[in-house]
Each structure stands twice: as structure tokens, then as C-alpha cells.
Structure 1
Amino acid sequence: MTRIDAKFAELKAANKKAFVSYVMAGDPDFETSLDIVKGLPAAGVDIIELGLPFTDPMADGPTIQLAGQRALEAGMTLSRTLELATEFRKTDDTTPIVLMGYYNPIYNRGVETFLSDAKAAGIDGLIVVDLPPEEDDELCIPAQNAGLNFIRLATPTTDDNRLPRVLQNTSGFVYYVSITGITGAAEAEATDVGPEVSRIKSQTDLPVIVGFGINTPEKSRGIASVADGAVVGSAIVAKIGAGDSVADVLSFVKTLADGAHSA
């Protein structure tokens, strides 16, 4: 059982929905980013999605793209991202960390080396948005064999013919993308999301967590009420990009977490 599996078992026993937060590793700099990540669990975050900075983030809107640029300009690399996770693990051995990004930096490092290093750094799962199920032998299967969850995205355009293939080697949870388009481009609506979550859950026992387009405590609660939890990224990253203090960022995160937990 991974930390992700254990967290969902704990939430289920408590009859609570999950709150997942995304932040870009190294944004705006290593130390500030580490302070924010360290503060997320106390702010109510159940699972941390840690963005891996990359030069060409195709699924991400301007807010996340700019965060990646800030991180890269501050000297962030894959190695430094794993170092940040290692530092976090010195004081927190229970909160799951999912590394979210693109395949190029992983490929450049070498899959075997990367998986060994990620495991040693305390990474629990991977979301690699540009590797489709047809490429599962490339990273997904090796990651599962290394004890890491490989979390797949399902979208509004993932029809019933495609969905079984998407779910085939997914573990940890399913990430449902609530909108068609890039991050931060539109708002998620519970009335649209609910039937899609039900459709996915009819084909898997995995938790279904919904992200993209969630930016307020009310939206967090509404989406969590029709799913197993909510993910917020751009709204948090925008606060970091605006130069808000660590305390102010974490205070905002807490309102979002409270929203999801009240569902």
C-alpha cells in the first residue's frame, strides 16, 4: 500500500473527501517553495501535487506556464525538485506527493535512474500528461513495478470506448479533467462533472479526483460533493505569482481545503 492508498483509506474511514493542491516546485525560488510545501499539510492538504518545471508545458495555461518559467529562471531542475521532496520528507513521512509534469526531463535522466531517485526522495505517484496508455511500457509499468502509483487523466472527451484503455494500468486515483482545454481556462461545474465521475466510477474502484477550473472554496466544495475530492492548482499558483507571503498563500489554501472537506 502506497501513501496515496493509505490516505484514501483514511479519508474513507472518516467519511471525508480529499483535497489535493498543486504547486510548481521552485516557484518563485527553492526556499520559498519549500516553505509553502512544508505548510500545505497543516493547511488541510491531503495530497500534494508537485509540478516539475518544464519549458513546454502543453496542458497548462498562462498561470502555470509562468510559474514554470519563474522556477526554471531560479535554477530549478529535476534534481532540485527531488531535493525539495527529500527536504520535505525530513519532517513529514505521511503526506503523499505526486510529481506532475512531462516526460522529457524524465527521459533525459533515464527511466530506471529517475524511478530510483524518485522513490528515494519520497515521491509516491506520477502524473505524466504527455504519455498516453499506448506508451505504458515506457514509464507506467516500470513505475508500478518500482512501487509508485501512475495516475492517469480522463477528460470530457474520453469516451466509453477509450476509457477502459485509460484505466487499464492506472493506480492511486483517477484524475478527471473537468474542462476541455488548458489549466485555468474555464470554471468547473458540478452539474457537468457529476455524471462524468459516475461514468468513470462504473468502470473502476479507484477514487476519482477532479481538477481544472476550481478556484474558490465554494467551487471546491461543489466539485468534491460529486467526486472523491478536488484539485486546485492555478488559483494557488496565482497567489504565489502575485508575491503573496507564504502565510497568505497557506491561509488561502486552507479555505479551499475546508471547502472540499465540508462536502
Structure 2
Amino acid sequence: MSTRIDARFAATASEGRAALVTFVMAGDPDHATALKILQALPGAGADVIELGMPFTDPMADGPAIQAAGLRALKGGETLTSTLDLVRAFRAGDDATPLILMGYYNPIYVYGVERFLADAKAAGVDGMIVVDLPPEEDEELCLPALSAGLAFVRLATPTTDDVRLPAVLRNTSGFVYYVSIAGVTGSATPDFDVVAGAVKRIKRHTPLPVAVGFGVKTAQHAAAIARSADAVVVGSALVDAVRGSLDADGRATEKTVSAVTDLVSALAAGVRSARVAA
């Protein structure tokens, strides 16, 4: 059965370009503004959306995404309201793939079976849960696959050829290659090294390979897009949200456009890469 994720990657491949995957935090800086941002992303050039599930202890996230999660939690965002966001987004967009990204604890507290059923009904296409290794696939990965949700795995610079098959075994949708060793938004990747890593992963899987962490500009996006099937941008977008807020941390009339202007620039960078290649 073809999914929204499969269809979108097939479409971008047929256009001869990489996809742009954008990460934003649910409920940042507040629920209503987060929905406006979400609704505006496809029109700005986002091909796939990752929606962060706010959590109090996001160990893989750098300062920008940590702060976004804290803003969302302070505003009252919950896993239930995050699924409400997805539902509201789906009311106007039935084509753009949407993936929830976060940590296992809130899902565990919500109840795995209930969460998977509610996420599927809301219109979620898949999930990335960064603190569940392949050895824990029975906790969430396998139930998610049974529920018809993709389970996207992370591969990192330290994932060698011995470890890679275990990482890829139950992966679906796409593979997310973390381009740097460290937390999100912490450094700029070495694009030649990334290209080599993408080639290596592709020898092990037919799935699309998306590359993220450290991608901040249209130039970065274009450089990644020359070798990867998708470019993931997150910290730069949540930084754009933060930079648009007033002195009290509230949304302004510039908040949505701060994100969409950057997405448009990144999308242009991604689209330029394959045309020139």
C-alpha cells in the first residue's frame, strides 16, 4: 500500500530533486500560531513535515529545539493537543506527509495502543522516536508498523556497517542520517563526508535517505541535496520563531512569515541543486 511518504518521495524523485523536510515544534510559541505555521509550510515549499512532540528532557536536541519545547509546554501543549494540531492540519491538506518526532516517555504515558490508534486517525503518517534503539522494537516500532504508521530510524556517523543492518531492519518511510555527531543545530556538516555516508547507507537499503542536523541556510540545503534524497531543517526554523517573538515571548505578526520566508529560501536552495547537477 502506497503511503503519503512514498508518494511524496516518488514525486520529488520524478522532478529530479531532493525533498525538503521541515521540523517545527507543536505548540510553539502557542497552539494557534503553531497551527498557522503548520498550515503555511507546504505552500512555502515544505515537502514533508516533522512535528515535534514537546518533552521536558529532549536529550538529542540542542538549545534551540529544547527552548521551543519548553515554550510549547509552558503554553499548555500536550500530546493530545498535538494530535489536535495534526487533525486541524489534515482538514485542509490530505497530501503532505506528516511525521511526529520526539521521545518515548509521553507516548508510553499516553498508552502505546491508544496513541497509535489516535495518531493514525488524526492523519499522522509516521514517527521518529529518538530514544528507542532497534533492540526495543517490540515497544513501539513493530506496533506502529502494524498500525500502518512508518517508523523512521536515525543513522549517525558512528553507525558502522556492522550496526547498520540492525538499524535498518524495521525502518520504513525513509532513513534519517544525522550528519554530525552531537545534538541538533550544533555545527555545520562536512558535505563531502555526508555524501559518502549517504552512498554507504544506500548500499544497504532502497529507502530514501534524508540528511539533517546543522542545515541552516539555502546554501547548506543545496549542498546536501546534491547527494541525499531529502534535506531536513529544524533548529534554523525554531530559531526563526524565537527571533520573531515579542519581549514577553509571545507571537507577533511576523512569526509565521519568519518561518515561511526561511522555508521558501531553503526550498529554492534544494530545488537549485538537482537542476544544476
Q: Scaled by the length of structure 1, what TM-score is found?
A: 0.99
1:255 aligns with 2:256: no
Q: How many Å apart are 1:245 and its aligned residue?
A: 2.3
Residue of 230, 235, 246 corresponding to 2:256? 246
1:155 aligns with 2:165: no
2:10 aligns with 9
Which residue of the partner structure matches residue 57 of structure 1? 58
Q: Which amino acid aligns with 1:166?
A: V
> Amino acid of the residue matched to residue 117 of structure 1?
D
Alpha-carbon displacement from aligned partner over 1:29-67 (angstroms, at most 9, x marks no partner): 001110001000000100000000000000000000000
Letter in 2 for 1:173: F
C-alpha separation between the residues in 2 aligned to 1:72 and 1:96?
25
TM-score relative to the length of structure 2: 0.94
How far 1:2 moved relative to its partner? 1.3
Report how many residues are paired: 263
Matched, 1:215 2:216: yes
Cα distance, 1:262 vs structure 2: 1.6
- Say if 2:241 and 2:258, in contact at 8 Å, map to a contact too: no
Name the counterpart of 2:87. Answer: 86
Amino acid at match of 1:5: D
1:3–1:96 CA contact under 8 A, matched in 2 = yes
Counterpart of 2:248? none
SS at match of 1:210: strand
- Give yes or no for the alignment of 1:224 onto 2:234: no
Unaligned regions of 5+ residues in structure 2, if any? 245-253
Aligned pairs for 1:1-263 within 5 A:
1-243=2-244, 244-263=254-273
Q: Distance in 2 between matches of 1:142 and 1:208?
A: 23
1:142, distance to aligned residue in structure 2 (A): 0.7
Residues of 2 paired with 1:162 and 1:254: CA distance?
A: 37
Write out the 4+ residue segments of structure 1 that deviate beyond 4 Å after TM superposition. none
Corresponding letter in the other structure for 2:267? A
